[in-house]
Chains A and B, each alone.
Chain A
């Protein structure tokens, strides 16, 4: 009888251990699942955004304001601050076009300009106008876990997929475990050198998704310089007319 009891006990323990293992495996997410959740949260079919960019260098700062329209592949930015008023950029796939308001002329911008700071900021044209999902551009793996501002995060490393044009060869992202939003990101060149670091300071829930409404991009190659990006208004999944992302709409 005692032998049966012992066997039963062992069976129960094994079952509990086995069940625990199954639960643990189910709870552990893969890097792809995490980044997909982040993509689903941060990326959208269409969006309209009003934003402010504060470029800081030492004790000096300059404010630029803009309105952007974005869909899955294309982006249109129009600057509204006095100095750059009516300057527009259209990005379609890897092509960038600029509308010069004085000359009222549209010029195709060379591809190498995509990686340069937009209007003197630390955000490149690619950073602001990138519409692709991260999973389409990088292969991710989990490299650790860490708390950022008291929030537990997954640390993911993304390496650019072969043949894909990206601004940064490697990116390390701290993704909030609960809200699946990037709280911090380090962006690296292929040489291994860190280029930029971005941090989300304010996160708000808008239309059912978490949005970093205030973030700071720091150029790690320069001293005492950063750009603060604040979203003042954002709307998701609105209907954007077909001709929005066309050259005719720039003029």
Chain B
């Protein structure tokens, strides 16, 4: 499609034009994050493979001119598959705020998060997984945001996915009733071609709610995935969060949620945590419990523990982590993921022949410098 082909070139030209037209006195800033880590992968036989990973996230902060904002953010990283450096343009867009319409044009992050760890009704499933972003979030798109009042809005997205020659559509309404943040959305996915594998066009509708029930934060989502034969799959998620303060002043934060959905839809939602054991019983309804506990040791350091057990087959991922902010800009991170499960279970490392071997565990240790 001509529109898609020249989309980024047009945006880049406009940003260059903007940069040239910005007065010298205007403040242009560069910020970002430099990260270096060592990743150890432990396979089923106990062999450990260690490789380094470096990345640089660079963002250009430009002043807003006449309600027009330009954004550029690029992510450079060493690609362990190719052995060389690679990049991902995260943001390359122009946003203009008209009185009753905010129009965003270009590469932009689109995620319809509402506070859950997994989101079965996101614009792109798996765009955010356990508070971690994935590349799927960044889309070449045109977004029209229409504010209706201080907390209500309608949003329309036309995106141009790389794996498709057609347009992906999204519509989302948001409002607040009795203290509850409510959203209703519709997504129409075009036919996709992932390295020869054709994924047919699909549609889904979703509803989310988030609010408080006394001292507990509660939320939920309901999604319906349409199928060709006038049938469809239902997915739902319910969850809550709570903070407990110890006498010594430390705090522990809990979040617990339950997700139920068809196995065939799960892989896109779990993203990198799901290593591909979705080859059998695709029609099976999967129930996942996600639990996380985050304990603040002091102002600068915290430990967390996340666990995702599958109710159906008893397999489980356990993800302990530790974070320490060493100074204003530097933080230390330790993350692990351990997979437990028998052969052909959702998170088990033993898999049937022909399916890529999953690791038994992963350990990531690294430093992040913000500037």
For B150, the chain A residues whose CB sits under 8 A away are 92, 243, 245-248
A130 to B167, CA, bound (A): 45
For A245, the chain B residues whose CB sits under 8 A away are 150
Quote the shortest CB–CB distance from A165 to chain B (angstroms).
11
The residue in chain B whose Cβ has the minimal distance to the Cβ of A195 is B249
For A55, the chain B residues whose CB sits under 8 A away are 299-300
With A111-B217, A251-B102 known to touch, is A103 a contact of B248 (CB < 8 Å)?
A: no
Q: Is the CB of B210 closer than 8 A to any CB of chain A?
A: yes
Interface size bucket, B side? 35 or more
With A83-B329, A245-B150, A247-B150 known to touch, is A116 a contact of B251 (CB < 8 Å)?
A: yes
Q: Can you list, as one digit per residue, whether each of A75-100 has a CB less than 8 Å from chain B (1) or not (0)? A: 00000011101000000101100001
Q: Is the CB of B283 closer than 8 A to any CB of chain A?
A: no
A8 to B212, CA, bound (A): 74
List residues of B (121-143) whose CB comes within 8 Å of A's CBs.
128, 133, 137
Docked-complex contact B243 and A105, CB < 8 angstroms: no
For A111, the chain B residues whose CB sits under 8 A away are 212, 215, 217
Docked-complex contact A225 and B299, CB < 8 angstroms: yes
A127 to B31, CA, bound (A): 29
Query: Which listed residue (A94, A107, A120, A221) contacts B300, Cβ 8 A?
Result: A120
Docked-complex contact B300 and A95, CB < 8 angstroms: no
Query: Which listed residue (A62, A222, A247) contacts B325, Cβ 8 A?
Result: A62
Query: Which listed residue (A107, A193, A221) contacts B115, Cβ 8 A?
Result: A107
A246 to B371, CA, bound (A): 29
For A220, the chain B residues whose CB sits under 8 A away are 249
Query: Which listed residue (B133, B300, B328) contacts A57, Cβ 8 A?
Result: B300
Q: Is the CB of B44 closer than 8 A to any CB of chain A?
A: no
Q: Is the CB of A24 closer than 8 A to any CB of chain B?
A: no
With A108-B210, A112-B216, A112-B242 known to touch, is A60 a contact of B327 (CB < 8 Å)?
A: yes
Q: Is the CB of B181 closer than 8 A to any CB of chain A?
A: yes
Stretch from B106-114, B194-202, B348-356 at the A interface? B106-114
Q: Is the CB of A198 closer than 8 A to any CB of chain B?
A: no
Q: Is the CB of B153 closer than 8 A to any CB of chain A?
A: yes
Q: Is the CB of B247 closer than 8 A to any CB of chain A?
A: yes
Q: Is the CB of A117 closer than 8 A to any CB of chain B?
A: yes
Docked-complex contact A104 and B108, CB < 8 angstroms: yes
Q: Is the CB of A215 closer than 8 A to any CB of chain B?
A: no
Docked-complex contact A108 and B128, CB < 8 angstroms: no
For A107, the chain B residues whose CB sits under 8 A away are 113-115, 210
For A108, the chain B residues whose CB sits under 8 A away are 114-115, 181, 210-211
Number of A interface residues at 8 Å Cβ cutoff, please give it: 42
For A104, the chain B residues whose CB sits under 8 A away are 108-109
Q: Is the CB of A121 closer than 8 A to any CB of chain B?
A: yes
A96 to B228, CA, bound (A): 41
With A108-B210, A110-B217, A251-B102 known to touch, is A95 a contact of B179 (CB < 8 Å)?
A: yes
A20 to B145, CA, bound (A): 69
Q: Is the CB of B257 closer than 8 A to any CB of chain A?
A: no
Q: Is the CB of B335 closer than 8 A to any CB of chain A?
A: no
Q: Can you list, as one digit per residue, whether each of B74-87 has a CB less than 8 Å from chain A (1) or not (0)? A: 00000000000000
The residue in chain B whose Cβ has the minimal distance to the Cβ of A191 is B247
Query: Which listed residue (A83, A117, A225, A251) contacts B328, Cβ 8 A?
Result: A83
Docked-complex contact B179 and A121, CB < 8 angstroms: no
A94 to B176, CA, bound (A): 13
Quote the shortest CB–CB distance from B30 to chain A (angstroms).
10
For B108, the chain A residues whose CB sits under 8 A away are 104
Docked-complex contact A116 and B243, CB < 8 angstroms: yes
A251 to B147, CA, bound (A): 11
Q: 8 A–B contact pairs at CB < 8 A?
A: A85-B61, A105-B113, A109-B217, A111-B215, A112-B217, A122-B299, A222-B248, A243-B147
Sorted nearest first, the 4 A-B pairs with minimum C-beta distance are A110-B217, A221-B249, A248-B147, A246-B150
17 extra A-B contacts, CB within 8 A, seeds A120-B325, A251-B145: A55-B300, A57-B300, A60-B300, A102-B133, A103-B128, A108-B115, A108-B181, A110-B212, A110-B241, A116-B243, A116-B251, A121-B299, A220-B249, A222-B249, A222-B298, A247-B153, A248-B102
